[in-house]
């Protein structure tokens, strides 16, 4: 499952300023970022509840704000321990394509201008030439016994993501 959460999108602010367009107070604020994080948390918790055991969810934003990225993931993991959700294996933090090229995850990430965060990865415009984009892969272990609304209980069936 992919959750591309609505976010602050700070790059849009930089692009607007570079184009000579005036920025206003309403374009970005700490309180707006905090509101976004609250909405993102609700979306992430809803998505995690839909996963079947063995399912994965990719949470992504185009924000550089830690409270909208790892902060949301940390809060979701703390609020939903009964779901058994956890960060996926570190190998899932980086695309398979780069591993096939013989690079380990950290070397591939550095070469692409990305860096690891507490729960995921982030690509920053000054290093990657794109973004920002943050992503974290979360999963409900296949052995987890609490079935989601889409069935499955404690066993296989990737489902939901």
pLDDT digits (tens, 9 = 90+) for 9-57: 766 666 666 677 776 766 667 788 899 999 999 999 999 999 999 899 9
Mean pLDDT across 139-144: 78
DSSP string, 71-122: HHHHHHHHH-GGGT-EEPPGGGGS-HHHHHTT--HHHHHHHTTEEE-SSSEE
Question: Which sequence positions are flagged as catalytic?
Answer: 62
For the entire predicted model, the pTM comes to 0.73
Report the binding-site residues for S-adenosyl-L-methionine.
4
The domain locations on the chain are 2-139
The secondary structure element, H or E, covering residue 43 is helix 30-50
Q: Where is pLDDT greater, at 94 or 70?
A: 70
Architecture of domain 2-139: 3-Layer(aba) Sandwich (3.40)
Report the binding-site residues.
4
pLDDT beyond 50 at 114? yes
Mean pLDDT across 74-79: 94
């Amino acid at each position: 499952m992919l959750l591309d959460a609505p976010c602050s999108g700070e790059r849009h602010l930089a692009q607007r300023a570079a184009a000579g367009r005036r920025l206003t107070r309403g374009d970005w604020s700490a309180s707006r970022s905090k509101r976004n994080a609250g909405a993102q948390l609700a979306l992430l918790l809803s998505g995690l509840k839909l996963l079947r055991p063995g399912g994965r969810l990719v949470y992504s934003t185009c924000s550089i704000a830690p409270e909208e990225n790892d902060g949301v993931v940390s809060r979701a993991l703390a609020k939903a321990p009964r779901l058994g959700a956890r960060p996926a294996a570190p190998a899932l933090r980086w695309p398979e394509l780069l591993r096939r090229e013989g690079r380990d995850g950290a070397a591939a990430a550095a070469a692409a201008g990305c860096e690891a965060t507490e729960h995921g990865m982030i690509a920053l415009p000054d290093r990657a030439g794109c973004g920002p984009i943050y992503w974290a892969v979360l999963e409900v272990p296949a052995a987890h016994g609490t079935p989601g609304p889409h069935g499955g209980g404690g066993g296989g069936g990737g489902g939901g993501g």
